[in-house]
Structure 1
Amino acid sequence: MTKLFFAFLISFFSYSQTHTITGVVSDTLNIPLESANIIAKPLQENAQLKFAITDNKGRYRLELEANVKYEITASYISFVEEVLIFEPNSTITTHNFKLKATGQKLKEIVIKHEYKPIVVKKDTLTYDVKAFANGNERKLKEVLEKLPGVDVDKNGTVTVQGKKVTKMLVEGKSFFGGGSKLAVENIPADALDKIEVIDHFNEVGFMKQVSDSEDLAMNVKLKEDKKKFVFGDVEAGVGNNEFNLVHAGLFYYSPKTNVSFIGDMNNIGRSTFTFEDLMRFDGGVSSFLSGRKSLSNLYSFTNDNTDVVQNKSQFGALNFSVDATSKLSVSVYSVFSKIFMASKTESKNEYLQNNAITFENKSQENGNQSLLGIGNIKLDYSPNKNEKWYYNAQYQSSTNDMNNTINSVTNLNSNTFETISQADNVSVKQYIEWHKSYNTNHTTTFVVNQAYENNTPQNHWFTNQPFLSGLIPLQTDDSYTIEQIRKIKNNSVDALFKHYWIINNFNHLYSVIGNNYGYSNFETSEKQILTDGSINDFSNAGFGNDVNYNLNDTYAGLEYKFKIGKWTNKPGLYFHWYQLKTDQIDQNYALSKTLFQPQWNSEFEFNKSESLNFTYRLVNSFPEVSQLADCYTLQSYNSVYRGNALLENERYHAANLRYSKMNMYRGIMWNAMASFNKKVRTTRNQIELDGINQYNTPILTDNPETNYRLSGSVSKKIYRFNLKLNTNLGWFNYVQTINNITTTNDRNNQDIGITIKTSYKEWPLFSIGYTKGFSQFSGITKSHFESDKFNSDFEVTFLKDWIYKIDYQSVRNTNSNNQSNFFETANTSLRHQKKNSPFGFELTVNNLLNIKAKNDYSFSDYMISERRTFVLPRMILFSVSYKL
C-alpha cells in the first residue's frame, strides 16, 4: 500500500513542468539592488502569479509555468520599473534588469503593481496572503504554514526564519495579550489581507531606535470589508464515548472599536491556549522590568493533552479595545478556564545508590480540577507625539483540587498512598510606564511595577503503612493520615528610570538607576491525625517553618552603544547593592553584597537577510524564601526537604550566539544558535537516599556547572519541495553529592532530524520526517537511550470542496540494555465546505489506531525510569461549523 501511495505521488508530481529564469537587478552603475521585487504576472487565465526577491548580490530566480505568457516586472523604491514580456515558447534562461533612478525622494510612493507577494524592508517583512493561500484554508494557522520562512508547531508557536514570534497583533493592536495560539487557531483565514512580521518591535514608536528590543511581532492586516464587520465561526460536534466539542470564535473590528470572543467546551483533550499564552495572561509586569516567578502552578490549564484517560475543559475569553479619544485607548481582556483531567501512568524505577539499587514498580492515578479567572485592563495615553503613558492592572484567581493515588511496590515492601490537595491562589499586579522624547537626542523612561500574590495549598496524605521511616516522626496507628498546610505571600515593588542619549548616529549612551524590593512570608506545618482523633504535631521534630524574607536590589548602570560600519555593539556595566534579610523561628540572618555585572550585546549585519548576534551576561541569582527555610518540609510520599538559611547568591556567565540567513535566490534559509551557561557559584540539592526515600537540602559550592547547547536548521527549496535539516545538541556537566559521596555527572542529548515537504500550492501538502535522538548519562552509573521518531502529514483538496488530512507518528525508544518499546499514533479528518457556503461539515478520527498507552525512558541524578502513559481511546467526532 505504501509503495503504491509513493508511486502515485511521484507520477502526480511529474506532470508539472517549469521554466527557470535567473538574472541580476542593478542600477545603471551596475550596483546590485538588494530586496528588489520581481513579479511575473500571467497574461492568460488559469495560471499563477510568480515572484522573487533579490538577494544581497541582486540575484533573482523565477520558476515559471511552461507554455504561459508572462509580464515580468522588476521594481525598487526610488527607481523606474522595468518590464519584460516572456513569451510561451521563449528559450530565455537569463535576463538582467538595469533600473534607472527617478531622481526624486518622494514622501509617498505610488506603485502600479499593488500585488507584491513579499515586501522586505529593514525590520519588516510583509506577505500578501492571496499569493500563497488557495482559498480552502480555515484558520490563520493554515495560511501561515504556507508562507516561506514561517513555521507553526502543534502548540501554536510561530517562528519566522527560526526566530519565535513573541507578540501577536491584529490591525496593530495586541490580540488577547499577544499570545500566538489563540490567534492562529481562531482568526478566520478568509478575513486576512496581509501578514506583517516586525523585528525589534516596540509599541512606542519613538523608542524603537533606542530600545534594542528583541521582540518579533506579527501583525495581521484584515481585508477592507472585515475592518468594520462581525466575522468568525461557531462549531459543534458529537462522537462516540460521549466525546463532544463546542467552539466559537467571534470578532468585531472597526477603526476605533475591536471586540473578540473565544469560547470552547470539549472533552477531546484539546487546550485553547498554551503555557506561553498563560504566562502573558499571568503577566501584569512591564517589559522593561524582569518578571518575577509566579507562585501558582497553572500548567494544567495549557496541556493540549490526550495523554490522559479523561480531559474536560471549558474556556471563555473576551477582548475589548476602544479608542476612547484621539489620545486615550483602553484595552480589556478577561479569561475563564475550568479543567477536569484524569491520568494514569505505570513506571519501573531503578534508584541508583552508591552500593545498591532499589527497584520500584509504581502505578499512579491522578484527578485534577482547576479553575482560573483573570481580568486585565490597560490604558494607553498619548498626550502628544513625543510622550506616552501606560497603566496596566490585573487580578487573577485560581483553585487547584487534586486527588492522587500511588501504589508503590519495591523489593523491600509495598504501600498505597492517597493524596488530596487543595490550592487557592490570588494575585494583583499593576504597573505604570512613562516615556518622553525631549528632542532627537534625549529620551527617558520611568517604570514602577507592583505585585501581590497569596498562595495557600493544603495537602492530605493517606496510607495503610508507615513510610519515610527515620525522616518523619510517625506514631504507630491502624492507618496514617498526614495534614500539611503551606502559606506563601509575596509582595514586590520595582522601579526603574532610564535615560537615552543619542550623541550621533554612531554613538549612544544610556544611563539607568533602579530598585527592586521583594517581601515574602513562608509558613508550613505538618501533623499526623490519629484514628482516635488526637494530633501528633511534627513541629517537635524540626518540622514547621515561619520565615519572613526581604531582598532589596539597588542598582545603577551605563550602556554604551556604538556602530562601526555594519557592526553594532552595546557593552554595559551595572553596579548592584543587594541586601538580604530573613527572620526565622530559630535564627535571623542578614547579608549585604556589592556586585558588578557586566554585559555585552553585539550584532553584525552582513546584509538585510544575513546577520550574526552575540549576547553576554554575568548574572547573580539569590535564593527564594523556600530555599532558606531551615526546618523540614514534607514534599511527597518518599521525599523530605530542608532549606539552608545560610545560602548566598549563585553566579553564572550566560552567552548566546545566533546566526540567520535567508537567500531567496538559492532558496536556502540558515538558522543556528549556540548558548553557553557556566555557574561559578552553584546551589544544588545534596541528596541522601535510603531505598526510595529521599532527604534533600540545598548547598552552595564553588563547583562549576557548564551547560552548552547548539541548535540549528537549514532548509533548501529543491524544485517544488522543501528539504529541512535540523539539530538540537546539549551537554550538561555538574557535580552532585548523594549519600555523602560526590561525583561529576554528565547529562548529554542529541537530536538530528530531516523533513521533506511539498512547497507548491497546486499540489497536495505532504511532509515526511525522521528524527534520531540520543541521550547519555554518566555519574553514579552510566546509561544511554536512543529514540527513533517518524512522522508524516498529508493534506489534499479534491472535488473543489473536500479536504482530507491524515497525520502519523511512530516512536521507538531503546535503553542501554538494548530493550525497546514502541508506539504509533495517527489522526485523520475529512471536511466538506462549499466555497460560498457558510456551513462546513467535518468527520474527525483521533487515535485512529486505538493505542492504549505511550512509552518512554528517562533518567535523573539517581533514578532510571521506564514509563507507560495511558491515553484517550479512539475518538470519532462529527462536527458542523457555521461561518459568519
Structure 2
Amino acid sequence: MKKNVFLFLMLLLSALTFAQKTVSGKITDEDGVAIPSASVTIEEPGKDAILAYAITNSKGEYKISFTSSEPNVDLKVKAFNQKSVTKQISNTDQTLSFKLESEATEIKEVKLKTRMITARGDTISYDLKAFDSKSDRTLADVMKKIPGVEVNADGTILYQGNAINKFYVNGKDLMEGGYGTINNSLPKDAVQKVEVLENHQPVKILQDKVPSDQAAINIKLKNSVTMTGRGEVGTGFGDPWLWNVKLTPMFFGQKSQWVVNYKTNNTGEQVENEGNILAFGNRYEGRRINASQNDWLNVENASTPNLPVKRYLMNSVHYLSANYLTNIDAKKEWELKASANYTNNAVERESYSQTDYFSTPQRPIASRVTQNIFNNFYTDKAKGELIFTKNAKKGFFKNTTSFSQYWNADRAVANRTDSQANSLRTANEAIESPTTSFQNSLSTIVPWKEKMVNVLSYISYQTDRQTLDVSPATYLTIPGFTTAAGADFVRQNLRLKTFEANHSANLGFTTKGWTFTPEIGFNFKTTDLVSDLFNITTIPSANPINQTPASAYSNDLSYTTATPYGSVGVNYKNDSWMLYANFPVNSNNIKADDPVRNVSKSVNKVTFEPNIFAQYSFASFWKTSVNANINNNFGEINTAYSGFLMTSPNGINAMDINNPIPQNNNKSAGARIEYRNPLNNLFFNVNYRLSDAKRNLISNPIINSAGYTTMQYIERDNHVLTNSYSAEVGKYFPKFKTNASVSYSNNTSKSDAFLDNISYTNKNNSQSYGFKFNNTYFSWMSIDYNASISRTKQINSGELNTNTARKGFTHNLGVFFYPIENHTVGFNWDQVNTSAGDQKYNNGFYDVSYQFTWAKKKIDFELKWLNIANKKVFETYDINTNNISYTRIQLRPSQVMFTVKFNFK
C-alpha cells in the first residue's frame, strides 16, 4: 500500500514539475488594436499535435500553460483576416506579444462544418449528431456514447468518474436534480449540443468567490421555444397479458418549462425511480433529500440477481409525475418550481437458497439450511414539492418545501428446512409501514457592502409506523429465545417520530482572490422510539444480554443530538489554482433516555473536523487535485436503544443496556489527476483514496444451525482500513466513428470482526476491469458493447481462518443492422458468469427486435422478442465467511412485445 501511495505521489510531483511553463502576452493588429478571438497554440516541432491552446479575450490578451520535455516548442497565432505567425520559442516561462499583418482571407467555398467536441474556458460542448446512431431515439441513448461521460444504471450522469451537480435545459434547472425523466424521454432530434460546465458554481453571487470541483450538464436545444416529448404504447404476449405505456410531453420556453410524465408497465421496466434526486447542487442552496422510510422492520426477502432489472422484475407499476417552472418577475431572476409524483407498484419475487454452515465452537456440527421465499411488495407513495428561487449576481434566495406520504406493505411466504431439525417450517409474514415526511429548507445570500451574509435553515419532521407479524410462532427458533406457550403469532410493533432542525449564519468577505467565511450554527435532532415485541421470551440459560426484565421487550427511548458549532471557510481561485477548505469545531451533545428501562446514556465531546480540497490546472488539459477530511459520527437511535427488537423473522437485535453510545471517527485522504483534451478527443483520470474508520462498538452475530441470527454488539475499539485506486481512459476516434474506454479499479479493506463470539481479522480485495466500445462507422450497422471482469478475494485470519475467492464476468452486446432504409434489426446479448471454488454458473440472455420507421411521421413500429432462450432461473454460488450458499432466483419468462414509439412533435 505504501508503495502505491509513493508511486502516485511521484506521478503528481512529476506532473507539477513539468507544469511550470507559461507563455502570456497580447495580440494586436498593425495599428495596435487588440484582436479578440485569436487562437494561440503550442506544438512540438515536427509533430502535428497540439500541446495546449488559448483564445484571446476582448483585450487581445492570452495566457497558455503547457508541458513538454522538448527544449523548444512552436507557438502559432491565427486570426481572421490576419496573417498567421509561427515562432519557435524556448521551453520556459515568458511574455510574448505579437503584431499581426493584415491579410484578406479568401473564401472560395462556404462549408458549414462543426467540430464534434469544442472547448471554451470551462465549457466543453459535444455535437450530439457526431455520436448518435440510427437506432438511438432519446438523449440518454446518445449520452452513454460521449467520451468522458458515463450514465449509471440508476440514471446518474458521471463526468470523468464524478457525479454532476446540476442538469440544465437551455440554462434552466427545471428538474432540480431529478433529471432521469428528461434524460430518458427527451428526443435526440430536439437537441443541438450537450455542454459540460466544468468547475460549475450554480450560485451566481458566489462565482469567482467560492469555487467548485463538480461539473454540470446543460442541454442546448435547437430552438429557444420547444414543444417535444416522447411516447410509447406497447402490448405483449405472455401470462399475464403484457402492457407498456410511456407518455412524456415536454415544453421548454424562455419564461417557463414543464414536463408531464406517465409510465405504466408489467414488463419488468423500472420507471418509478425516475424522479429520484441525482444531483444536489451545493450547501449554499440549502438541503434537499430523497425522502425515504426508516424501514427497520422487514419480512424475509427473496434474493435478486446481478442482472439488468428487466430480466427478473415481476411488476405492475403506475408512475405519474409533473414538473413546472416559471419566471415570476420581469428580470427573470425569480423562479417558481412545482413538482408532484405518485407511484403505485406491486412486485412479486421468488428464490430458493441452500446454505451450508461451517462448524464453529458455538455450532460443533455443520448444518444445511434450505429456504423458499415468495414475496409480494406493495408501494404506494406520493410526493409534492414547491421551490422559490432567486439566483442573481446581486443576491440569492431559495426556499424548498416538500411533503411525502407512504402507504407501503410487504408480504412473504417462507419455507425453511434445516438438517438438524429435519423438518419443514412454513411462515406467513406481513408488514404494514405508513410514513409521513415533511421538510422545509431556506437559504439566502444578501450582499452587505463588500461582504455577503448567508443564512440557512432546515426543518424536518417524519413519523414511521411499522408492524411485523409472523405466524405461526413456532417458525422462529432464534438463538437465546423461545416463543410463548400457545402463541399463534409473534408481533413486533415500532413507532418512530423524528424532528430535525439545522440553522446557521455566515459572513463572507473577499480580498485578493481569497474568500473567508466565518460561520456559526446549531444542529438539533431528536427521535422518539416506541417498540413492543409480543409472544417471545428468552431462554434463561442462553440469555443474549444477561438480563430478563419484562421491559426488555419494549422500548420507549428518546435520542437527542444537539451540536452548536463554529467554523471558518477558506476559498481561493485564479486561472490555475482552486482551493476550498472548512475548519469547523463542533460541540457534540448526545443523550439517550428510556425512563421505563432505566436507560440514560450521554456523550459530550468537542471535535475538530476539517476538510480540504486543492486543485491545480495546467497545460490547458491537465488537472491534479488532493483532498483530505476528518469527521466524527455518534451513531443513530438504531444503535443506541437497549433491549430486544425483531428487525426480521430471520433474527433479533439484542442491545445491551451497558453498551455506550457509538463513537466513530473517520479519516480519509485522496489524490486525483485527470486529462481532458477536446482537440484529440482523449479523456482519462487516475484516482487514489486512503481511509481509516475507528469505532468503539463491534457487531457480534450469533447464528444457529437453522440460520437464525441474534445480533449483539461488543464494546471494543476496532478499525476499518480502506485503500482504493482506479483509472479510466476514453478516446473518440472520429475517422472510425468509434468511442472506446477502458477502466480499472482496486479496493482493499481490512477490518476487525466477530462471529459467534469468535474474533478474526477480515481482509477483502476486489478488482474490476471494464471495457466499453461503440461504433457507428458503417451505414448498415452499429455496435454497443460493455464488458467487465471482477475478482474478489477474502481472507479471514485469527481465531477464524478462511480463504475465499470469487470471479465474475458480465457483458452486454447490442448490434443493430439497417439492411434497408427505415428498417432496423437488433440483437441484444446479456451474459453474467460467476464462479467460486469449483462451481461455475453461466447465465446468458438473448433478445431480437425488428423496427420499421415511418420517417415522414417519425413513428417507430417495433416487434421485440425478449429472453428467446426462455431461461427461467438465475443460479449463483458463493463461498462466505461462515457458509457456502447456492441460490436460484426466478426470472421473467420469454415474452414478445409490439410497441409503437413516437415524438410529440
1:573 paired with 2:545, answer no
1:336 paired with 2:335, answer no
> C-alpha root-mean-square deviation of aligned residues, in Å?
3.7
Give the match for residue 733 of structure 1.
750
Task: Assess if the C-alpha contact under 8 Å between 2:39 and 2:79 holds in 1.
Answer: no
In the TM superposition, residue 419 of structure 1 has moved relative to its aligned partner by 0.8
Distance (Å, rounded) in 1 between the aligned partners of 2:243 and 2:291 = 36
In the TM superposition, residue 674 of structure 1 has moved relative to its aligned partner by 2.0
Equivalent positions of 1:286-685 (< 5 A) are 287-288=285-286, 294-296=292-294, 305-308=309-312, 310-326=314-330, 327-352=333-358, 354-355=360-361, 356=364, 357-381=366-390, 385-413=393-421, 414-438=424-448, 442-463=451-472, 465=474, 467-468=476-477, 471-477=480-486, 480-505=488-513, 507-528=514-535, 540=550, 542-562=552-572, 566-584=576-594, 585-586=596-597, 587-643=599-655, 646-664=660-678, 666-685=680-699
Task: Assess if the C-alpha contact under 8 Å between 2:603 and 2:661 holds in 1.
Answer: no
Which one of 688, 694, 697 corresponds to residue 712 of structure 2?
A: 697
Distance (Å, rounded) in 2 between the aligned partners of 1:450 and 1:541 = 33
Task: Assess if the C-alpha contact under 8 Å between 1:736 and 1:745 holds in 2.
Answer: yes
Which one of 669, 687, 697 corresponds to residue 701 of structure 2?
A: 687
Distance (Å, rounded) in 2 between the aligned partners of 1:266 and 1:399 = 21
Bigger relative contact order (CA 8 A; separation at least 6): 2
Unaligned 5+ runs, structure 1: 1-25, 39-51, 60-74, 85-97, 105-110, 531-537
1:228 paired with 2:225, answer yes
Give the match for residue 80 of structure 2.
80
Question: Cα deviations across residues 228-279 of structure 1 (Å, max 9, x unaligned)?
Answer: 343223221111111111110101222212121010110011122548x524
Give the match for residue 234 of structure 2.
237
Distance (Å, rounded) in 1 between the aligned partners of 2:584 and 2:283 = 22
Give the match for residue 142 of structure 2.
143
Question: Cα deviations across residues 827-875 of structure 1 (Å, max 9, x unaligned)?
Answer: 3322222332143211122222211122234465544432222111112
Q: Tell me: CA distance 1:565–1:223, structure 2 relative to 1, closer, same or farther (3 Å).
A: closer
In the TM superposition, residue 27 of structure 1 has moved relative to its aligned partner by 9.7
In the TM superposition, residue 743 of structure 1 has moved relative to its aligned partner by 0.7
Q: Tell me: CA distance 1:287–1:271, structure 2 relative to 1, closer, same or farther (3 Å).
A: farther
SS of aligned partner of 1:194: strand
1:782 paired with 2:803, answer yes
Give the match for residue 107 of structure 1.
none
Q: Tell me: CA distance 1:861–1:653, structure 2 relative to 1, closer, same or farther (3 Å).
A: farther
Give the partner amino acid of 1:698. Answer: Y
Q: Tell me: CA distance 1:758–1:134, structure 2 relative to 1, closer, same or farther (3 Å).
A: closer
SS of aligned partner of 1:173: coil
Task: Assess if the C-alpha contact under 8 Å between 1:619 and 1:654 holds in 2.
Answer: no
Distance (Å, rounded) in 2 between the aligned partners of 1:878 and 1:132 = 28
Distance (Å, rounded) in 2 between the aligned partners of 1:409 and 1:850 = 30
SS of aligned partner of 2:209: helix
Q: Tell me: CA distance 1:201–1:663, structure 2 relative to 1, closer, same or farther (3 Å).
A: closer
Give the partner amino acid of 2:804. Answer: S
Task: Assess if the C-alpha contact under 8 Å between 1:415 and 1:463 holds in 2.
Answer: no
Percent of aligned pairs sharing the same letter: 16
Task: Assess if the C-alpha contact under 8 Å between 1:145 and 1:152 holds in 2.
Answer: yes
In the TM superposition, residue 402 of structure 1 has moved relative to its aligned partner by 0.8
Distance (Å, rounded) in 2 between the aligned partners of 1:524 and 1:658 = 47
In the TM superposition, residue 740 of structure 1 has moved relative to its aligned partner by 2.4
Distance (Å, rounded) in 2 between the aligned partners of 1:282 and 1:558 = 23
1:791 paired with 2:798, answer no
Which one of 844, 853, 877 corresponds to residue 833 of structure 1?
A: 853
Q: Tell me: CA distance 1:610–1:557, structure 2 relative to 1, closer, same or farther (3 Å).
A: same
SS of aligned partner of 2:610: strand
1:278 paired with 2:276, answer yes
Distance (Å, rounded) in 2 between the aligned partners of 1:858 and 1:491 = 42
Give the partner amino acid of 2:260. Answer: F
Distance (Å, rounded) in 2 between the aligned partners of 1:876 and 1:332 = 39
Task: Assess if the C-alpha contact under 8 Å between 1:572 and 1:600 holds in 2.
Answer: yes
In the TM superposition, residue 400 of structure 1 has moved relative to its aligned partner by 1.5
Q: What TM-score results when the alignment is normalised by the length of structure 1?
A: 0.82
In the TM superposition, residue 53 of structure 1 has moved relative to its aligned partner by 10
Q: Tell me: CA distance 1:102–1:428, structure 2 relative to 1, closer, same or farther (3 Å).
A: farther
Distance (Å, rounded) in 2 between the aligned partners of 1:566 and 1:184 = 33
Give the match for residue 70 of structure 1.
none
SS of aligned partner of 2:769: strand
In the TM superposition, residue 459 of structure 1 has moved relative to its aligned partner by 0.7
Give the match for residue 869 of structure 1.
889
In the TM superposition, residue 667 of structure 1 has moved relative to its aligned partner by 4.4
Q: Tell me: CA distance 1:377–1:579, structure 2 relative to 1, closer, same or farther (3 Å).
A: same
Q: Tell me: CA distance 1:456–1:279, structure 2 relative to 1, closer, same or farther (3 Å).
A: farther
Distance (Å, rounded) in 2 between the aligned partners of 1:494 and 1:324 = 29
SS of aligned partner of 2:379: strand
Distance (Å, rounded) in 1 between the aligned partners of 2:856 and 2:522 = 59
Q: Tell me: CA distance 1:517–1:130, structure 2 relative to 1, closer, same or farther (3 Å).
A: same
User: How many equivalent residue pairs?
Assistant: 794
Give the partner amino acid of 2:767. Answer: Q
SS of aligned partner of 1:193: strand
Give the partner amino acid of 1:703. Answer: N
Distance (Å, rounded) in 1 between the aligned partners of 2:901 and 2:396 = 43
Q: Tell me: CA distance 1:306–1:839, structure 2 relative to 1, closer, same or farther (3 Å).
A: closer
Distance (Å, rounded) in 2 between the aligned partners of 1:287 and 1:112 = 45
Distance (Å, rounded) in 1 between the aligned partners of 2:197 and 2:49 = 18
SS of aligned partner of 1:648: coil
Task: Assess if the C-alpha contact under 8 Å between 1:281 and 1:374 holds in 2.
Answer: no
Q: Tell me: CA distance 1:173–1:716, structure 2 relative to 1, closer, same or farther (3 Å).
A: closer
Distance (Å, rounded) in 2 between the aligned partners of 1:513 and 1:219 = 35
Distance (Å, rounded) in 2 between the aligned partners of 1:153 and 1:37 = 38
Distance (Å, rounded) in 1 between the aligned partners of 2:279 and 2:684 = 33
Moved more, 253-262 or 665-674: 665-674
Give the match for residue 95 of structure 1.
none
Give the match for residue 709 of structure 1.
724
Question: Cα deviations across residues 781-801 of structure 1 (Å, max 9, x unaligned)?
Answer: 221111232432212334231
Give the partner amino acid of 2:555. Answer: N
Moved more, 346-355 or 595-604: 346-355
Give the match for residue 773 of structure 1.
790
Question: Cα deviations across residues 591-630 of structure 1 (Å, max 9, x unaligned)?
Answer: 2111111222111212332212221111100111121110
In the TM superposition, residue 291 of structure 1 has moved relative to its aligned partner by 6.0
Q: What TM-score results when the alignment is normalised by the length of structure 2?
A: 0.81
Give the match for residue 171 of structure 2.
172
1:814 paired with 2:814, answer no
Distance (Å, rounded) in 2 between the aligned partners of 1:393 and 1:606 = 42
Distance (Å, rounded) in 2 between the aligned partners of 1:583 and 1:339 = 39
